[in-house]
Amino acid sequence: KTVLLNIVLNAVHAMPDGGNLRIISDNSPGTITIRDSGYGIPEEDLDNIFDLFYTTKSRGTGLGLPTAYKIVKEHGGEISLNSKPGEGTTVSIYLTREKDSN
């Protein structure tokens, strides 16, 4: 819940004049994609986007995406982010189910 909330809030903030926000859970178990049509993230910021306290927002804390990243990793998952300025951002989350030890 916290992971999706943080990513969706970032997407909404990236579209101050409105836009498209899609949350996609396709037939791949444990895969969720969040796609927005916001202003995108400049290439020079992409390497730092999951760093604690890193923000490009004037009133941001730099906690949302790092928190999402940490939670996904703690659950054995992966999170990736692709973005192009002027085209929007796509965040993909991949979670695997724990196998029974029996």
pLDDT one-digit tens code per residue, 13-53: 889 899 999 999 877 778 999 999 999 988 988 888 888 87
In a domain, 96, yes or no: no
Query: Does any domain span residue 22?
Result: yes
CATH number of the domain where residue 48 is located: 3.30.565.10
Structural domain contains residue 98: no
82, 14, 46, 4 alpha-carbon torsion, rounded to 10° = -60
pLDDT of residue 102: 52
Host domain of residue 32: 2-91
Residue 67 lies in a domain: yes
**How is residue 56 written in tokens?**
């490009």
Question: Distance (Å, rounded) from C-alpha 98 to C-alpha 36?
Answer: 30
Task: Look at residues 52, 61, 50, 60 and name the one whose alpha carbon lies nearest to residue 83.
Answer: 50
Q: Which two tokens stand for residue 8?
A: 């969706």
* Tally of domains within the chain: 1
